[in-house]
Structure 1
Amino acid sequence: MWDTILWIAAVIIAIFGILRLVQRDFVMGAVLIVIALLVGPGGVSLFT
């Protein structure tokens, strides 16, 4: 259950990061994508 919630949260954060990159806010976009990679259960999860 928690894996699904973390995966959904990571996808949402990554989408916001991509939108920031499209809006030419490169620093915030990169930060959001890194956070998404850290939160996502497929990556290096902060909670495990």
Structure 2
Amino acid sequence: MGFIFWILAVILVIAGIFQLFKGETLWGIVLIIVGLAVGPGGYSIFD
């Protein structure tokens, strides 16, 4: 189950980075923060 959350977190962070490059600063930051909150490494809301 942790592996699924890790994959989801990576996808969210990558999507956030792409949004930052496209000029959508707020949406990119939100996606990166959600990705960090979901991921099992570092800070996680599921710990």
Question: TM-score of the superposition, structure 2-length normalised?
Answer: 0.92
Q: Where does 1:29-40 land on structure 2 (aligned, <5 Å)?
A: 29-40=28-39
Cα-to-partner distance string for 1:12-48 (whole Å, 9 max, x where unaligned): 0011100100001000000000000100000222222
Runs of 4+ with >2 A deviation: none
Give aligned-pair identity as a percent: 47
User: CA RMSD of the aligned region, Å?
Assistant: 0.7
Within 5 A, what are the aligned runs for 1:19-34? 19-34=18-33
- The equivalent of 1:15 in structure 2 is 14
User: Unaligned 5+ residue runs, structure 2?
Assistant: none
Alignment size in residue pairs: 47
